[in-house]
């Protein structure tokens, strides 16, 4: 019952929706059906897990009509918020061990990991896409999403990217693509779906896409400046044009697809 082994359920359900075949979703229904009937609520203890599993819950609700998926979504997210959401900064720590002031960046600031908040922001966009309009917790999720969007907007660097430690650019200077791409996707999704104001957020999204398409994307097709697998901004870690990883490419594609949708709507 670990997010890394459940994220694939999102794709299985998407494939089922294209061409229904029960075997595609049998394991997802078995595993998640079991999980929502346990008495635990601490499954999502790290930021990445929110991206991995929150959308599985809303997709399974749409598939089955079982409201328990939405009830447990709220229960599990409430636990996550209690241990790693900073109400003042409106951002998420990667997990409880990075909460300020127990943990600080090298310059004594709150240390929010860009890719971690990218996972959460993109995950919330996917949840809001599938969540019923009349869900009793929808407004709460929208408010968290909007708060993240504003904090993301305010921490963007002038060249369009976000640094690995969002509020302490000097902790690990320079661009990071995976977090930037997730933020770009999340901002554009909010604009495309009328949740974020275009006038306020589109310049940031365009600036970020300019970084992604002009700096991160290399001439050979490689997506560079992707921080390797990790959980924090590491001082001295080299992240350059040759640094790539599959999740960075995936985030880049999410951002590109959402920007294409924006351009298509505004022909």
Residues 160-200 pLDDT 10s: 999 999 999 999 999 999 999 999 999 999 999 999 999 99
Domain that holds residue 148: 141-267
Q: Is residue 122 part of a domain?
A: no
What percentage of the chain has pLDDT greater than the value 70?
Answer: 100
Q: What is the dihedral of CA 48, 50, 53, 56, to 10 degrees?
A: -130
Considering its fold, how many domains does the chain have in total?
A: 1
CA distance 164 to 233: 5
Q: What positions carry a catalytic annotation?
A: 48
Q: State the pLDDT confidence band at 3, using cuts at 50, 70 and 90.
A: very high
pTM: 0.98
DSSP string, 163-197: -SBTT-TTTS-S-BHHHHHHHHHHHHHHHHTTSS-
SS (H, E, C) 47-86: HHHHHHHHHHHHHHHHHHCCCHHHHHHHHHHHHHHHHHEE
Residue 76 counted as domain residue = no
Is 1 within the bounds of a domain? no
Q: What is the pLDDT of residues 245-265, one digit of tens each?
A: 999 999 999 999 999 999 999
267 has pLDDT over 90? no
Asked whether residue 162 is assigned to any structural domain, the reply reads yes
pLDDT digits (tens, 9 = 90+) for 132-168: 999 999 999 999 999 999 999 999 999 999 999 999 9
Residue 165 lies in a domain: yes
Looking at residue 149, what is its pLDDT? 99
Give the model confidence (pLDDT) of 6-50 as tens digits: 999 999 999 999 999 999 999 999 999 999 999 999 999 999 999
Q: What is the pLDDT of residues 198-243, one digit of tens each?
A: 999 999 999 999 999 999 999 999 999 999 999 999 999 999 999 9
Is 260 part of a structural domain of the chain? yes
3-state SS assignment for residue 123: helix
Q: Which two tokens stand for residue 12?
A: 């299985």
Which phi and psi (to 5°) does residue 243 adopt?
-80, 115
SS3 17: helix
Q: Is residue 112 part of a domain?
A: no
């Amino acid at each position: 019952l670990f997010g890394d082994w459940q994220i694939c359920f999102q794709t299985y359900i998407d494939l089922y929706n294209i061409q229904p075949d029960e075997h595609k979703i049998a394991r997802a229904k078995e595993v998640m059906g079991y999980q929502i009937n346990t008495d635990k609520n601490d499954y999502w203890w790290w930021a990445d897990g929110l991206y991995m599993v929150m959308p599985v819950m809303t997709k399974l609700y749409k598939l089955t009509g079982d409201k328990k998926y939405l009830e447990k979504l709220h229960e599990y997210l409430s636990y996550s918020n209690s241990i790693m959401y900073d109400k003042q900064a409106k951002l998420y720590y990667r997990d409880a061990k990075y909460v300020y002031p127990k943990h600080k960046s090298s310059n004594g600031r709150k240390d929010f990991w860009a890719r971690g908040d990218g996972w959460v922001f993109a995950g919330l966009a996917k949840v809001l896409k599938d969540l019923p309009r009349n869900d009793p917790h929808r407004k709460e999720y929208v408010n968290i999403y909007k708060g993240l969007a504003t904090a993301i907007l305010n921490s963007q660097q002038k060249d369009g990217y976000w640094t690995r430690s969002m509020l302490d650019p000097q902790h690990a200077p320079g661009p990071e693509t995976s977090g930037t791409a997730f933020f770009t996707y999340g901002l554009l999704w909010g604009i495309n779906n009328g949740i974020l104001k275009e006038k306020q957020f589109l310049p940031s999204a365009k600036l970020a896409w300019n970084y992604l398409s002009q700096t991160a994307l290399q001439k050979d097709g490689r997506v560079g400046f992707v921080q390797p697998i990790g959980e924090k901004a590491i001082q001295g870690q080299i992240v350059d044009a040759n640094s790539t990883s599959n999740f960075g490419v995936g985030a880049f594609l999410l951002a590109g697809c959402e920007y294409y949708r924006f351009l298509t709507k505004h022909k």
